[in-house]
Structures are given as structure tokens and as C-alpha cells.
Amino acid sequence: MSFPDRVDEHRSRLTKSDRALVDELLSYPAEAPLWRGEDVARRAGVHPAAATRLAQRLGYHGYPDLRDHLRQDLGTGLTGAGDRFRVELQDSGGHSVLETLLTTELDTLSQLCRHVGQDQLDRLADRIASAGTVHLFARGNASVLAELMERRLRRFGIRTVNLTGTGRDVAERILSLTAEDLVVAFAFRRPPRELSELLGHAQQVGAGTALVTDTIHTLDPAPDAILSAPRGHQDSREGFASLTVPMAIANALVLTIAQRHDQALLPALDALDGLMAAFD
């Protein structure tokens, strides 16, 4: 079991200080195995003893054991984007790129239901359908998922705001965020800089929050709902990871919304057909 897997297993037990420490460790995978407990505590802005308490809460005897685990992970994992592509290309085993990609994607998709249940989709679908406005947030490659959801929800007649642009742009757009609204974020590997601030403001005003992710589990404050499933290789954090799995989650969420709220939302699609015919 990797260190991120162990964090995921014990996520519900983590305190605010624990999450700050874990985020620091996961954000610097190459440097973290060299840090002493007091080093990571200082970087995270918590009491030096917090590092030992985190290690014990995660099942280690003490922080040195946790650090040894990080060193083992570093010896078997690669973190750079270039390295991830090199691993993927080296592991082809003589198969074509297409064959290798399909094998990996099909294997990952086949495990999806072990990580995300239909009951989770049902609850989030109900929350989206009842929200005053759904605010969508993503950065980098994940932005295409926010754009997809925005378009799909808009066609259902659901009010949406895509939180694109700079931090200042996001601040302007969430000025009207209320307790009737919902924030849905897509983020992978490491959290975007603005995500914690966004979740904090949403919590302050009473808005709901949800996160679709692969390895991010220690945000402070934590989202109300987390749909988390691995991308790419199942047994490590190395290798190329596509958006196939989170795209499947997004599409399943859209279909769940339509199935559970067809009487309220599908008439909007009928109206859209008429409008499109008029504008063509």
C-alpha cells in the first residue's frame, strides 16, 4: 500500500493539522522523504509533535517509519510529467500505443464501481438538481470536464457558473454564492491554488461542495462529497493518466440527473430543440 493509499484509508480520522501535514508531504514527493518531523511541521505551520501524531494515526510506530515509507514510494514512483510518459512508453511490451492505452483504460474503468457507488451519484445528482446555481471549478487539463458539465447542465435548464480565469476572476464570480448553491470541482494529483479558498468561502456562506478527483483527499476544509477513483495504472501513481475515468464519472452524473429528475429537467431539452430549430 502506498502512502497516498494509506492516507485515503484513514482520511475520516484526520484532523486539520493532519491534513496540513499530508498536503505538504504529497505536494513535494521528491523532497518529503528527506524531512524530519519538525521540518514538515514547520512547513505546514503546526506544532512539531503533530508529525508524530499523524504518523501514529496512520498506523506507523512513529514519524521515522512514515518517512521510510515515503522513501520506498520515491524509489518506486516517478513524479515528473516527462517521467510519466517515459514509463508509459517503456511499459508497452511490444504492443502498439493504441493497444497499450486501451488495455490500461479498460482495466481502470472496470474498477470504477469499486471506488464510486451509484448511491454517491444519486446524492450528488439530487443536490445539483435542487441547487440555485451550480458553480463549476477546474484548472489545466481538468477544465474540459467543467466545460462539459456546464454545457450539459445548462441544457437541463440548470443555472451554472464556470469559475474560469484568475483568482480575482473567481472572487468576483463567487460574490453571489449563497447557501442555495453548489460548488462542483474537478482536481487531480495536486490541488489548484485557489481550491482551498473556494471551498472555505463556500463553507462560510453555507453552500454545498463536491469534488471529483483521483488522489486529493486532504483538503481543508474538506468537500461535502468526494467522488474519487484512480486514473491510469491501478497499483501506482506513475505513468500517464488520462481523463477517461473522471469523464465517465461526469457522464454518469449527467445521466443520473436526467433519470432521477426527468419530469423537471427533460422539458428544457424539448424547449432547446425548438429554439435551435428557430435559430438554425
pLDDT at residue 91 in the model:
56
Q: What would the mean pLDDT of 20-31 be, rounded to a whole number?
A: 82
On whether the 3-76 domain is CATH 1.10.10.10, my answer is yes
- Comma-separated ranges of CATH 1.10.10.10 domains in the chain: 3-76
pLDDT at residue 85 in the model:
53
Query: For the domain with range 112-279, which CATH number is right: 3.40.50.80, 3.40.50.10490, 3.30.350.10, 3.40.1650.10?
Result: 3.40.50.10490
Cα(86)–Cα(31) distance, rounded to whole angstroms? 21
C-alpha dist (Å) from residue 149 to 125, 136, 179, 214, 229: 12, 8, 21, 18, 18
Q: What would the mean pLDDT of 199-209 be, rounded to a whole number?
A: 97
pLDDT at residue 150 in the model:
97
Give this prediction's pTM: 0.71
Cα(234)–Cα(268) distance, rounded to whole angstroms? 40
Residue 124 has pLDDT above 90, yes or no: yes
Cα(143)–Cα(137) distance, rounded to whole angstroms? 8
- Comma-separated ranges of CATH 3.40.50.10490 domains in the chain: 112-279
**DSSP codes, 58-84:** TT-SSHHHHHHHHHHHHHH---SHHHH
Give the model confidence (pLDDT) of 67-91 as tens digits: 999 988 876 554 455 555 555 555 5
Cα dihedral sign, 101-102-107-108: positive
Asked whether 51 and 21 are in contact (CB, 8 A), the reply is yes
Give the model confidence (pLDDT) of 127-143 as tens digits: 999 999 999 999 999 99
Give the model confidence (pLDDT) of 244-270 as tens digits: 999 999 999 999 999 999 999 999 999
pLDDT at residue 89 in the model:
56
Give the model confidence (pLDDT) of 148-203 as tens digits: 999 999 999 999 999 999 999 999 999 999 999 999 999 987 788 789 899 999 99
Cell for 223?
Answer: 468537500
Cα(182)–Cα(134) distance, rounded to whole angstroms? 5
